[in-house]
A and B are shown apart, each in its own frame.
Chain A
Amino acid sequence: AAGVIQSPRHLIKEKRETATLKCYPIPRHDTVYWYQQGPGQDPQFLISFYEKMQSDKGSIPDRFSAQQFSDYHSELNMSSLELGDSALYFCASSLVRRERYGYTFGSGTRLTVV
Protein backbone atom coordinates (compact mmCIF):
# COMPACT_ATOMS: atom_id res chain seq x y z
CA ALA A 1 0.00 0.00 0.00
CA ALA A 2 1.13 3.54 -0.72
CA GLY A 3 2.57 5.43 2.23
CA VAL A 4 3.37 9.03 3.02
CA ILE A 5 6.53 10.02 1.19
CA GLN A 6 8.85 12.66 2.58
CA SER A 7 11.89 14.13 0.93
CA PRO A 8 14.69 14.52 1.49
CA ARG A 9 15.39 11.97 4.22
CA HIS A 10 18.37 13.92 5.48
CA LEU A 11 19.30 17.56 5.06
CA ILE A 12 22.25 19.54 6.35
CA LYS A 13 22.08 23.32 6.24
CA GLU A 14 24.08 26.17 7.69
CA LYS A 15 22.68 28.81 10.01
CA ARG A 16 20.66 31.50 8.25
CA GLU A 17 20.09 29.30 5.21
CA THR A 18 16.72 28.21 3.85
CA ALA A 19 15.31 24.68 3.68
CA THR A 20 12.31 23.18 1.93
CA LEU A 21 10.83 19.88 3.03
CA LYS A 22 8.35 18.02 0.87
CA CYS A 23 5.52 15.68 1.72
CA TYR A 24 3.44 13.50 -0.59
CA PRO A 25 0.34 12.21 1.24
CA ILE A 26 -1.43 8.95 0.62
CA PRO A 27 -3.58 9.29 -2.53
CA ARG A 28 -7.10 10.57 -1.82
CA HIS A 29 -6.22 11.65 1.72
CA ASP A 30 -7.62 15.13 2.30
CA THR A 31 -5.61 16.32 5.31
CA VAL A 32 -1.89 16.86 5.83
CA TYR A 33 -0.13 17.59 9.12
CA TRP A 34 3.42 18.70 9.90
CA TYR A 35 5.20 17.84 13.15
CA GLN A 36 8.61 18.73 14.56
CA GLN A 37 10.46 16.44 16.96
CA GLY A 38 13.58 17.69 18.71
CA PRO A 39 16.08 15.32 20.32
CA GLY A 40 14.50 13.47 23.23
CA GLN A 41 11.19 15.29 22.79
CA ASP A 42 7.68 14.33 21.75
CA PRO A 43 6.43 15.30 18.29
CA GLN A 44 5.08 18.87 18.31
CA PHE A 45 2.33 19.91 15.92
CA LEU A 46 3.25 22.70 13.53
CA ILE A 47 0.48 23.16 10.97
CA SER A 48 -2.22 21.30 9.06
CA PHE A 49 -4.11 21.59 5.79
CA TYR A 50 -7.54 20.28 4.88
CA GLU A 51 -8.43 20.23 1.20
CA LYS A 52 -5.52 22.55 0.43
CA MET A 53 -6.59 25.19 2.95
CA GLN A 54 -4.74 25.79 6.19
CA SER A 55 -6.92 24.34 8.92
CA ASP A 56 -4.93 24.60 12.15
CA LYS A 57 -1.72 26.10 13.40
CA GLY A 58 0.47 25.03 16.29
CA SER A 59 3.80 26.23 17.56
CA ILE A 60 5.18 27.09 14.14
CA PRO A 61 7.77 29.89 14.11
CA ASP A 62 7.12 32.90 11.88
CA ARG A 63 10.25 31.92 9.94
CA PHE A 64 8.43 28.80 8.77
CA SER A 65 5.65 28.66 6.21
CA ALA A 66 3.82 25.84 4.53
CA GLN A 67 1.36 25.24 1.77
CA GLN A 68 -0.52 22.45 0.10
CA PHE A 69 -0.61 22.34 -3.67
CA SER A 70 -3.30 21.33 -6.17
CA ASP A 71 -1.91 17.78 -6.33
CA TYR A 72 -2.19 17.64 -2.51
CA HIS A 73 1.52 17.49 -1.85
CA SER A 74 2.75 19.88 0.82
CA GLU A 75 5.93 21.81 1.40
CA LEU A 76 7.35 23.23 4.61
CA ASN A 77 9.60 26.21 3.98
CA MET A 78 12.05 27.21 6.68
CA SER A 79 14.09 30.40 6.47
CA SER A 80 16.83 31.96 8.58
CA LEU A 81 17.62 28.56 10.02
CA GLU A 82 18.83 28.37 13.60
CA LEU A 83 20.72 25.63 15.41
CA GLY A 84 17.56 24.91 17.40
CA ASP A 85 15.70 23.99 14.22
CA SER A 86 17.71 20.77 14.07
CA ALA A 87 15.09 18.08 14.45
CA LEU A 88 13.09 15.34 12.80
CA TYR A 89 10.20 16.71 10.75
CA PHE A 90 7.29 14.39 10.16
CA CYS A 91 4.43 14.74 7.78
CA ALA A 92 1.21 12.78 8.24
CA SER A 93 -1.95 12.43 6.21
CA SER A 94 -5.46 11.25 6.89
CA LEU A 95 -8.92 11.03 5.41
CA VAL A 96 -11.24 12.79 7.79
CA ARG A 97 -14.32 10.70 7.09
CA ARG A 98 -12.37 7.45 7.53
CA GLU A 99 -10.46 8.24 10.67
CA ARG A 100 -10.77 4.69 11.93
CA TYR A 101 -7.46 4.19 10.15
CA GLY A 102 -5.86 7.08 11.99
CA TYR A 103 -3.10 9.25 10.69
CA THR A 104 -0.34 7.77 8.56
CA PHE A 105 3.07 9.27 9.21
CA GLY A 106 6.00 9.43 6.85
CA SER A 107 9.51 8.36 7.76
CA GLY A 108 10.52 11.94 8.41
CA THR A 109 13.20 14.35 7.30
CA ARG A 110 16.16 14.77 9.62
CA LEU A 111 17.31 18.38 9.43
CA THR A 112 20.68 19.28 10.87
CA VAL A 113 21.64 22.94 11.10
CA VAL A 114 25.34 23.61 11.56
Chain B
Amino acid sequence: DAKTTQPTSMDCAEGRAANLPCNHSTISGNEYVYWYRQIHSQGPQYIIHGLKNNETNEMASLIITEDRKSSTLILPHATLRDTAVYYCIVRVAYNAGNMLTFGGGTRLMVKP
Protein backbone atom coordinates (compact mmCIF):
# COMPACT_ATOMS: atom_id res chain seq x y z
CA ASP B 1 0.00 0.00 0.00
CA ALA B 2 1.14 3.55 -0.71
CA LYS B 3 2.64 5.56 2.16
CA THR B 4 0.77 8.62 3.38
CA THR B 5 1.95 11.75 5.15
CA GLN B 6 -0.30 13.80 7.42
CA PRO B 7 0.29 16.64 9.88
CA THR B 8 0.70 15.36 13.42
CA SER B 9 -1.87 17.71 14.85
CA MET B 10 -4.28 20.50 13.92
CA ASP B 11 -6.64 22.84 15.74
CA CYS B 12 -9.98 24.06 14.50
CA ALA B 13 -12.54 26.45 15.95
CA GLU B 14 -15.99 25.02 16.59
CA GLY B 15 -18.37 25.77 13.73
CA ARG B 16 -15.59 26.37 11.23
CA ALA B 17 -14.52 24.04 8.46
CA ALA B 18 -11.72 21.63 9.27
CA ASN B 19 -9.45 20.85 6.33
CA LEU B 20 -7.18 17.87 6.87
CA PRO B 21 -4.50 17.32 4.22
CA CYS B 22 -2.87 14.05 3.20
CA ASN B 23 0.00 13.41 0.81
CA HIS B 24 0.19 10.11 -1.03
CA SER B 25 2.60 10.78 -3.86
CA THR B 26 3.30 7.07 -4.57
CA ILE B 27 -0.35 6.07 -4.94
CA SER B 28 -1.03 3.45 -7.61
CA GLY B 29 -3.80 3.63 -10.18
CA ASN B 30 -5.97 1.02 -8.48
CA GLU B 31 -5.59 2.36 -4.94
CA TYR B 32 -8.35 4.24 -3.18
CA VAL B 33 -8.00 6.97 -0.56
CA TYR B 34 -9.82 6.15 2.67
CA TRP B 35 -10.40 8.29 5.72
CA TYR B 36 -11.14 6.91 9.16
CA ARG B 37 -11.20 8.59 12.52
CA GLN B 38 -10.79 7.36 16.06
CA ILE B 39 -12.35 9.18 18.95
CA HIS B 40 -10.50 8.47 22.17
CA SER B 41 -10.50 4.72 22.97
CA GLN B 42 -13.41 4.02 20.62
CA GLY B 43 -13.22 1.80 17.58
CA PRO B 44 -12.10 3.56 14.39
CA GLN B 45 -14.96 4.92 12.33
CA TYR B 46 -15.19 4.97 8.53
CA ILE B 47 -15.71 8.47 7.12
CA ILE B 48 -15.37 8.44 3.35
CA HIS B 49 -13.33 7.08 0.47
CA GLY B 50 -12.66 7.89 -3.17
CA LEU B 51 -10.64 6.92 -6.21
CA LYS B 52 -10.23 10.08 -8.27
CA ASN B 53 -13.44 12.07 -8.15
CA ASN B 54 -14.39 14.30 -5.27
CA GLU B 55 -16.81 12.64 -2.88
CA THR B 56 -19.32 13.93 -0.35
CA ASN B 57 -21.45 12.21 2.24
CA GLU B 58 -23.30 13.21 5.37
CA MET B 59 -20.10 13.35 7.38
CA ALA B 60 -17.52 14.98 5.15
CA SER B 61 -16.18 15.85 1.73
CA LEU B 62 -13.09 14.38 0.10
CA ILE B 63 -11.15 16.41 -2.43
CA ILE B 64 -8.55 14.48 -4.46
CA THR B 65 -6.12 16.37 -6.67
CA GLU B 66 -6.11 15.61 -10.37
CA ASP B 67 -2.74 13.83 -10.17
CA ARG B 68 -4.06 11.90 -7.12
CA LYS B 69 -0.91 12.62 -5.16
CA SER B 70 -2.72 14.40 -2.35
CA SER B 71 -6.18 14.80 -0.88
CA THR B 72 -8.05 16.87 1.68
CA LEU B 73 -10.77 15.78 4.05
CA ILE B 74 -13.20 18.56 4.83
CA LEU B 75 -15.48 18.61 7.85
CA PRO B 76 -17.73 21.55 6.89
CA HIS B 77 -18.86 22.61 10.37
CA ALA B 78 -16.63 21.07 13.01
CA THR B 79 -18.10 20.33 16.42
CA LEU B 80 -16.42 19.39 19.68
CA ARG B 81 -17.42 15.79 18.99
CA ASP B 82 -15.19 15.81 15.91
CA THR B 83 -12.10 15.91 18.13
CA ALA B 84 -10.30 12.71 17.16
CA VAL B 85 -7.33 11.20 15.35
CA TYR B 86 -7.96 11.19 11.61
CA TYR B 87 -6.25 8.57 9.46
CA CYS B 88 -5.70 8.82 5.73
CA ILE B 89 -5.16 5.34 4.29
CA VAL B 90 -4.40 4.33 0.72
CA ARG B 91 -5.19 0.79 -0.35
CA VAL B 92 -6.67 -1.42 -3.02
CA ALA B 93 -10.41 -1.86 -2.46
CA TYR B 94 -12.66 -4.85 -3.11
CA ASN B 95 -9.83 -7.20 -2.17
CA ALA B 96 -10.52 -9.70 0.58
CA GLY B 97 -7.86 -9.68 3.22
CA ASN B 98 -6.39 -6.37 2.16
CA MET B 99 -6.39 -4.88 5.59
CA LEU B 100 -6.34 -1.27 6.67
CA THR B 101 -2.98 -0.11 7.96
CA PHE B 102 -3.23 2.69 10.51
CA GLY B 103 -0.35 5.02 11.13
CA GLY B 104 0.67 8.64 11.31
CA GLY B 105 -2.75 10.20 11.61
CA THR B 106 -3.66 13.80 12.42
CA ARG B 107 -4.89 14.62 15.90
CA LEU B 108 -7.63 17.19 15.35
CA MET B 109 -8.60 19.32 18.31
CA VAL B 110 -11.83 21.28 17.90
CA LYS B 111 -11.93 24.18 20.33
CA PRO B 112 -14.91 26.25 21.55
Contact assessment for B99 and A33 in the assembled complex, using a CB-CB cutoff below 8 Å: yes
Q: Which residue of the partner chain A has the closest CB to B105?
A: A42
Q: Which residue of the partner chain A has the closest CB to B50?
A: A100
Contact assessment for A42 and B103 in the assembled complex, using a CB-CB cutoff below 8 Å: yes
**Nearest chain A CB to B97's CB is how many angstroms away?**
3
Which residues of the partner chain B approach A44 to less than 8 Å between Cβ atoms? 102
Contact assessment for A56 and B98 in the assembled complex, using a CB-CB cutoff below 8 Å: yes
Q: For the complex, what is the distance from the CA of A58 to the CA of B1, rounded to whole Å?
A: 14
- Of A42, A50, A102, the contact of B102 (CB 8 Å cutoff): A42
Q: For the complex, what is the distance from the CA of A31 to the CA of B93, rounded to whole Å?
A: 13
**Nearest chain B CB to A24's CB is how many angstroms away?**
14
Interface size on B, residues (CB 8 A): 25
Q: Which residues of A contact B (CB under 8 A)?
A: 4, 30-31, 33, 35, 42-45, 48, 50-51, 55-56, 58, 88, 90, 92, 96-97, 99-108
Which residues of the partner chain A approach B101 to less than 8 Å between Cβ atoms? 45
Q: For the complex, what is the distance from the CA of A90 to the CA of B100, rounded to whole Å?
A: 13
Interface residues of B in 27-68 (CB under 8 A from A): 34, 36, 38, 41-47, 49
Contact assessment for A92 and B43 in the assembled complex, using a CB-CB cutoff below 8 Å: yes
Q: For the complex, what is the distance from the CA of A88 to the CA of B43, rounded to whole Å?
A: 9
Q: Which residue of the partner chain A has the closest CB to B42?
A: A107
- Of A45, A56, A107, the contact of B43 (CB 8 Å cutoff): A107
Q: Which of A44, A99, A107, A108 has the most CB of B within 10 A?
A: A99
Contact assessment for B97 and A99 in the assembled complex, using a CB-CB cutoff below 8 Å: no
Which residues of the partner chain A approach B102 to less than 8 Å between Cβ atoms? 35, 42-44
